[in-house]
Amino acid sequence: MIRSTLRTLLAGALAAGTLTAGALSLPASANAQEALGASRAAIEARQRFNAAFEGKTIAFVPITMGIPLTITWKDTIEREAAELGMKFVMRDPNLDMGAMTQAVSALIGGKPDVMVVHNPSVQLLAKLLKKAEKAGIHVIQINMASNTPTSAYIGADFYRIGKETAEDIVAQCGAGSGRSGKVAIVEGDPTSSVSMEEVTAAKAVFAEHPEIQVVSSQPGYWDANKAREITASVLTQHPDLCATFGVWGIMQLGAGQAIKEAGLTGKVLNYANGGGPQVICDSIKAGLIDKYWSFDAKLQGHDIMTAVKMILQSGAAPGELRTVLYSDTNVITADNADGACWQMPGQ
Amino acid sequence: MTLKGAQFGQGGIVAAVTLVVFAVFAVLLDGFAALANAVVLVRSVSVLGILATGMAIVVIARGLDLSQVATMAAVSAWMLKLMGGGLPIWVALLAGLALALVIGLINGALIAYVEMPALFVTLAMGFLIFGAVRTGLLGGDMLVYLPESAQGLQVLGQGAVLGIPVPVFLFAGVALAAHFLLSATSIGRFIYAHGDNSETARLTGIPVRPLTLLEYALSAAAGYIAGLIMAASSGSVDLRIINSTLNFDAILVVVLGGISLSGGRGGIGNVLAGTALIGTLLNGMVIMNLSAEVQSIVKGLVLLGAILLDNALHPTDEEVMRQGDI
């Protein structure tokens, strides 16, 4: 008895709800032009745009979450994907290479429409990315490239950054500068494309200038402590070192600490690059880094989504496109460090 | 403990090898023998040395701690996070110490009371700490910075007294304390007895289980101090260190120095010998600018050599057979 009364009540409530909702949405459906655009062309453009993304899925696999770059990318991708009506999924392998290959394999099975990957090395995902394209998934690579090209690579032009940094070092330390010409390089993980590109470019520049002597080129494995230890050793060996160049800013902060500990701040120039989080600008102002090439990670997140929009609207099949979008880069020094970096999302 | 001669055998050999390597580097490499470089050398292995000192206590008691570096990184990252959140520095430091000790006690309890093998307990604990601290206490962060308000803490990593860096003093302090504990107290004697033969130790009335808790707590405490130095040196804690080989490097130093994995033998002198050899090798290889691959080959060969020596000096005997190898 009570149950049937409840059921009636519920049905009534539901019907009322539907009616209200219908009444509210009536003007919109009655006048589709208002929702989609004023002109026929605009309406069609909007319809094509919406249809390209509605109900599609974008997957993101960074090497790990919890570092400024990946936090920022995720934040932007997730927000812009939601605006497009796309579903966002993420797998965080926590820097575990095995977990990363497993995550990508599992995602290929689940067939998202777009997969954004952050390659820890040029080889790790090379085969899987091919497989993903065969399975009909558009693959976008962010900042660290794989040996397998895919629909898009979005990221800094690390060769150019390495070259420009080296040229600046030559100008500061080379012929006519009155300085020693001794340079130390702190590599990242030697199998990462970022490290390979920057170090190759820098060494090519230095090779043209015999007065520049690369006294050390050691891998710091993205670790500030390792960079600090290597640089401390190099500095006792070569207290007249002119410059140290690290392929990633957060790691190279360790080299900056070693220079500070040795009392050589300002005498040994510290060069680095990266995505430009606030901690870097603070460190530049504190004198830990002298010159920093920044490829704004926030803009990169937006670039990823721009590529997604282009790729999905183009109608191209996975494997057809091979595009590269190098990120906008600017140079930060103590003179322009105020406001040149971004705050982490949520701070 | 009747094998004291053998223990000094390996420690002595390693010390001699260190001297030879040092001499060769000093002749071949300009500036290697300079006092400033010696300071850098000791400074660069002080974190490793402190970890190895804690590890030595556990290994002497015939155990192993694979969660030491995870404890180190997770606890120090949490402390920086607390300081960044406005907690007074000393409160954060105490909270960190408490967390480290709790982790050590849990390790010890699982090994002593639940009787699970140390290898698996600490391996699993390492994963657990990494995941739980990162999601539960750090809000997902992998990288935590020393906040502006706690810059004073940098003295621990970057300060120097009479030209000698503070981390070197801390390493010396930890080594002295551990040496005192192991050689001059009855607890130290008990630890040797525990490692030598756990059952006999128990039968003679040594509280083996509570002792195990203490051993792992001390290892975690060493991780805590090492983590403090690391955080203070670079002004940040990067949880990626957990995925590095640092934990195995600490074991390498212990075994290399001549503390047998079969327990009951060796002392802090061995840790110092092992640390000195690794420090000399690493420093020399960086100065020579050897590639990462060559460095890794040298490290691997040195470890194999040390285990070979350990095997020759402490051959598998009836006692080891009965207890099983680690």
CATH of the domain at A97: 3.40.50.2300
Q: Is A19 domain-assigned?
A: no
CB contact under 8 A, A67 and B243: no
CB contact under 8 A, B40 and A232: yes
Mean of pLDDT over chain B = 87
Distance from CA of B36 to the nearest CA of A (A): 6
Instruction: Identify whether the C-beta of residue B10 lies closer than 8 Å to the C-beta of residue B267.
Output: no
Q: CB of A222 within 8 Å of any CB in chain B?
A: yes
Each domain of chain B, given as residue ranges in start order, spans 4-315
Last residue of a domain, one of A242, A259, A274: A274
What is the structure's pLDDT at B322?
52
Interval B96-113 mean pLDDT: 96
Identify which of A65, A219, A257 has the shortest CB distance to residue B234.
A257
CATH class of B4-315: mainly alpha
Distance from CA of A63 to the nearest CA of B (A): 11
What is the structure's pLDDT at B152?
84
Identify which of B40, B238, B289 has the shortest CB distance to residue A216.
B289
The verdict on A171 and A189 lying in the same domain is yes
Q: Is A249 domain-assigned?
A: yes
The verdict on A116 and A223 lying in the same domain is no
Q: CB of B286 within 8 Å of any CB in chain A?
A: yes
Q: Is A215 domain-assigned?
A: yes
User: Which chain B residues are Cβ-neighbours of A224 within 8 angstroms?
Assistant: 234-236, 238
CB contact under 8 A, A223 and B241: yes
- Locate the chain B residue with the closest alpha carbon to A260: B158
Q: What are phi and psi of A325, to 5 degrees?
A: -120, 100
Q: CB of A121 within 8 Å of any CB in chain B?
A: no
Q: CB of A186 within 8 Å of any CB in chain B?
A: no
- Locate the chain A residue with the closest alpha carbon to B241: A223
The verdict on A117 and A55 lying in the same domain is yes
User: For residue B238, what are its two tokens?
Assistant: 């990067």
The verdict on A135 and A198 lying in the same domain is no
CB contact under 8 A, B244 and A223: yes
User: Which chain B residues are Cβ-neighbours of A190 within 8 angstroms?
Assistant: 292
Amino acid letter at A281? C
CB contact under 8 A, A233 and B141: no
The residue segments making up the domain with residue A163 are 158-274
What is the structure's pLDDT at B3?
44
User: Which chain A residues are Cβ-neighbours of B287 within 8 angstroms?
Assistant: 233-234, 237
Q: CB of A265 within 8 Å of any CB in chain B?
A: no
Distance from CA of B149 to the nearest CA of A (A): 14
Interval B223-249 mean pLDDT: 90
Q: Is A32 domain-assigned?
A: no
Identify which of A66, A237, A260 has the shortest CB distance to residue B140.
A66
Q: CB of A57 within 8 Å of any CB in chain B?
A: no
Instruction: Identify whether the C-beta of residue B80 lies closer than 8 Å to the C-beta of residue B150.
Output: yes
The CA–CA distances, whole Å, from B73 to B89, B207, B227 equal 18, 31, 6
Q: CB of B8 within 8 Å of any CB in chain A?
A: no
Q: Is A205 domain-assigned?
A: yes
Q: Residues with Cβ < 8 Å from B78, sequence gap 6 or more?
A: B95, B96, B99, B133, B137, B138
Angle among Cα B74, A226, B166 to the nearest 5 degrees reads 75
Residue B174: Cβ within 10 Å count:
23
User: Which chain B residues are Cβ-neighbours of A228 within 8 angstroms?
Assistant: 233-234
Interval B140-144 mean pLDDT: 84
The verdict on A147 and A173 lying in the same domain is no
The verdict on A184 and A248 lying in the same domain is yes
CB contact under 8 A, A224 and B37: no
CB contact under 8 A, A234 and B36: no
What is the structure's pLDDT at A39?
86
Tell me the C-alpha distance between B188 and B124, whole Å.
28
pLDDT band at B4 (very low <50, low <70, confident <90, very high): very low
Amino acid letter at A306? T
Distance from CA of A115 to the nearest CA of B (A): 22
If residue B165 lies in a helix (H) or strand (E), which one and from where to where? strand B164-165
Q: CB of A244 within 8 Å of any CB in chain B?
A: no
Lowest-pLDDT choice from A39-43, B29-33, B133-137? B29-33
What is the structure's pLDDT at B317?
64
Distance from CA of A139 to the nearest CA of B (A): 26
Concatenate the DSSP letters of all residues of A263-316 into one string.
T-BTTBEEEEEES-BHHHHHHHHTTS-SEEEE--HHHHHHHHHHHHHHHHHHTP
Tell me the C-alpha distance between B205 and B50, whole Å.
31
For residue B73, count CB atoms less than 10 angstroms from its CB and return exposed for 0-12, middle for 13-18, buried for 19 or more.
Answer: buried
Task: Say if residue B319's pLDDT is above 60.
Answer: no
Q: Is A286 domain-assigned?
A: no
Higher pLDDT, B307 or A158: A158
Q: CB of B294 within 8 Å of any CB in chain A?
A: no
Q: CB of A67 within 8 Å of any CB in chain B?
A: yes
CB contact under 8 A, B240 and A254: no
User: Which chain B residues are Cβ-neighbours of A230 within 8 angstroms?
Assistant: 286
Distance from CA of B114 to the nearest CA of A (A): 30
What is the structure's pLDDT at A30?
43
Task: Give the closest residue to B256 by CA, choosing from B299, B225, B292, B319.
Answer: B299
Identify which of B31, B47, B240 has the shortest CB distance to residue A236.
B31
- As for the ipTM of the complex, it is 0.72
The CA–CA distances, whole Å, from A86 to A51, A108, B148 equal 11, 17, 40
Give, for all 347 residues of chain A, the pLDDT tens digit: 555 555 555 555 554 444 444 444 444 444 554 567 788 888 888 899 999 999 999 999 999 888 888 999 999 999 999 999 999 999 999 888 899 999 999 999 999 999 999 998 888 999 999 999 999 999 999 998 899 999 999 999 999 999 999 999 999 999 889 999 999 999 998 888 899 999 999 999 999 999 999 999 999 988 898 999 999 999 988 999 999 999 999 999 999 999 998 899 999 999 999 988 888 999 999 999 999 999 988 899 999 999 999 999 999 999 999 999 999 999 999 999 998 898 876 65
Q: What are phi and psi of B167, to 5 degrees?
A: -55, -35
CB contact under 8 A, A190 and B292: yes
Distance from CA of A233 to the nearest CA of B (A): 6
pLDDT tens for residues B198-209? Answer: 889 999 999 999
The verdict on A263 and A163 lying in the same domain is yes
CB contact under 8 A, B158 and A257: yes
The verdict on A244 and A172 lying in the same domain is yes
Pairing label, strands A243-246, A182-187: parallel
What is the structure's pLDDT at A20?
45
Q: Is A306 domain-assigned?
A: yes
User: For residue A332, what are its two tokens?
Assistant: 């930060």
Tell me the C-alpha distance between B103 and B75, whole Å.
10
User: Which chain A residues are Cβ-neighbours of B292 within 8 angstroms?
Assistant: 190, 218-219
The verdict on A163 and A259 lying in the same domain is yes
Total domains in chain A come to 2
Distance from CA of B216 to the nearest CA of A (A): 26
Could you tell me which residues are beta bridge partners of residue A271? A245, A291
3-state secondary structure of B232: helix
DSSP A13: H
Tell me the C-alpha distance between A288 and A46, whole Å.
50
